[in-house]
Amino acid sequence: MNLIEPALQWQPEFQAIRRDLHAHPELKFKEVRTAEVVARNLQQWGYTVDCGLAGTGVVASLTVGTSKRSIGLRADMDALPLQEINHFEHRSVHDGRMHACGHDGHTAMLLAAARVMMHRKQINGTVHFIFQPAEEGGGGARRMIEEGLFKRFPCDAVFGLHNWPGTAAGTFGVTPGPMMASSNEFEIHVHGKGAHAALPHLGVDPVMIAVAIAQNLQTIVSRNCKPIDAAVLSITKIHAGSATNIIAQEARMAGTVRTFSINVLDMVEARMREIIEHTAIALGGSATLSFERNYPPTVNNPEMASFCADVMEEVVGAENVDRRIEPTMGAEDFSYMLLEKPGSYAFIGNGAGGHREMGHGAGPCTLHNASYDFNDEIIPIGATYWVRLAERFLSEPA
Ligand SMILES: [Zn+2]
Ligand SMILES: [Zn+2]
């Protein structure tokens, strides 16, 4: 492994910051203390800090030399509404709040990179360190953009990094094109006509309509989606009725749709509307669909993904980099940044859980799990990746 010396040497300091953030998790758009910790450290290392984009967002910039080239590096800062079950010293001090997605680690790695880059000053251009709130369902990235992130801090390209438990520490993964899915929620309201269950001919049974809709919707992925395009349509709720001798008046259904492209998403939503409305009419009732698009798909610029992979290879060696990692159906609000700028999102191995024996305590170590903990050993690896990425990007001719 080819790590930058100060990143390695200062690991204990960044580990302490990471554990302090872990002990004080804050939920989306409420990252007040976290933003203060980030800003205070950056100021100590000589940065001028901009606070307040999207409420609690923090941006710091480093300009060296005369080049107009610029790069944005992004970390997320928010925690999850989850009760931590770990017993180690740095466990959450707040009931029902926990850093179970490792955003404490992402913040620490980017802080480490900021400190190392200020120390080295081996760039020609500008690096913007972007600490965003509310990745977990709040769309903090979108709000930062709406409030002028890229106008005030212009970036030629922007990069994101997420820890990935289960893959070895000292490894990276990235892929050109879609890396994570769009996430969308829907609700269906079926209107029938209530009646005595012994006299069905006097009513319109919304249960039968709901069942038919559920069946017919499954033809979208199997019959309308191009076989090489991926989509998920899951109906996760069906509710109707109150007694065994009453045909209900209405039924409600809900679920999620995931896709890797907006085109496929447009098609799925349009077909859902047709199938839902016409199935209900065919059975004598009516139905409406409300469809809410949350995060768009996270789609890496192929050139930037390849650039990332080259930098990763420089840090951990080609044998430890998966240049075509399998995309996941999870979602990420870094997708909004990739809609604005070329760039790439990547995974850094958080380890298979071995770090837990070194004082982290036992238990599974998967994202959004109540016993998760970020692996502090990878802070210098992530920090070195950030530093080399920025230095290499900014050394290329404009
Ligand atoms: Zn998460
Ligand atoms: Zn996350």
The one-letter amino acid at 173 = G
Q: Residue 361's pLDDT is what?
A: 63
The one-letter amino acid at 318 = A
Among 263-277, 297-311, 316-330, 362-376, the range scoring the smallest mean pLDDT is 362-376
Give the pLDDT confidence of 56-108 residue by residue, as tens digits: 999 999 999 999 999 999 999 999 999 999 989 999 999 999 999 999 999 99
pTM, rounded to two decimals = 0.92
What are the structure tokens assigned to 85, written together?
Answer: 């079950």
State how far the Cα of 371 lies from the Cα of 12, in Å rounded to an integer. Answer: 22
State how far the Cα of 37 lies from the Cα of 31, in Å rounded to an integer. Answer: 10
Phi and psi dihedrals of 62, rounded to 5? Answer: -125, 120
Residues with CB in 5 Å of ion ligand 2: 101
- Give residue 202 CA to ligand 1 midpoint distance, Å: 49
Residue 358: pLDDT band by 50, 70, 90 thresholds?
Answer: low
State how far the Cα of 298 lies from the Cα of 82, in Å rounded to an integer. Answer: 25
C-alpha 150: how far from chain center: 20
Residue 365: pLDDT band by 50, 70, 90 thresholds?
Answer: confident
- Give residue 211 CA to ligand 2 midpoint distance, Å: 35
State how far the Cα of 348 lies from the Cα of 18, in Å rounded to an integer. Answer: 16
- Give residue 332 CA to ligand 2 midpoint distance, Å: 7
Question: ∠ CA(342), CA(173), CA(136), 5° rounding?
Answer: 70
- Give residue 136 CA to ligand 1 midpoint distance, Å: 6
Q: Residue 364's pLDDT is what?
A: 67
- Give residue 154 CA to ligand 2 midpoint distance, Å: 25
Residues 6+ apart with CB under 8 A from 369: 100, 363
- Give residue 197 CA to ligand 2 midpoint distance, Å: 49
Ligand having the closest approach to the CA of 161: 2
Q: Residue 355's pLDDT is what?
A: 74
Ligand having the closest approach to the CA of 334: 2
Closest CA to 75 of 119, 118, 42, 124: 42
Closest CA to 178 of 256, 261, 257: 261
Q: Which residues pair with 239 in a beta bridge?
A: 252
Phi and psi dihedrals of 356, rounded to 5? Answer: -65, -25
State how far the Cα of 220 lies from the Cα of 233, in Å rounded to an integer. Answer: 8
- Give residue 163 CA to ligand 2 midpoint distance, Å: 8
- Give residue 136 CA to ligand 2 midpoint distance, Å: 7
What is the gyration radius of the CA atoms in the chain, in angstroms? Answer: 24
Residue 397 has pLDDT above 70, yes or no: no
User: Containing H/E element for 47?
Assistant: none
Residue 2: pLDDT band by 50, 70, 90 thresholds?
Answer: very high
Cα→Cα distances 137→28, 191, 261, Å: 8, 31, 19
- Give residue 287 CA to ligand 2 midpoint distance, Å: 36
- Give residue 76 CA to ligand 1 midpoint distance, Å: 10
DSSP E strands, the chain: 49-53, 57-64, 70-76, 125-132, 157-164, 172-173, 177-180, 182-191, 195-196, 231-240, 246-247, 250-259, 286-293, 298-300, 321-322, 343-349
- Give residue 329 CA to ligand 1 midpoint distance, Å: 13
- Give residue 367 CA to ligand 1 midpoint distance, Å: 7
Ligand having the closest approach to the CA of 136: 1
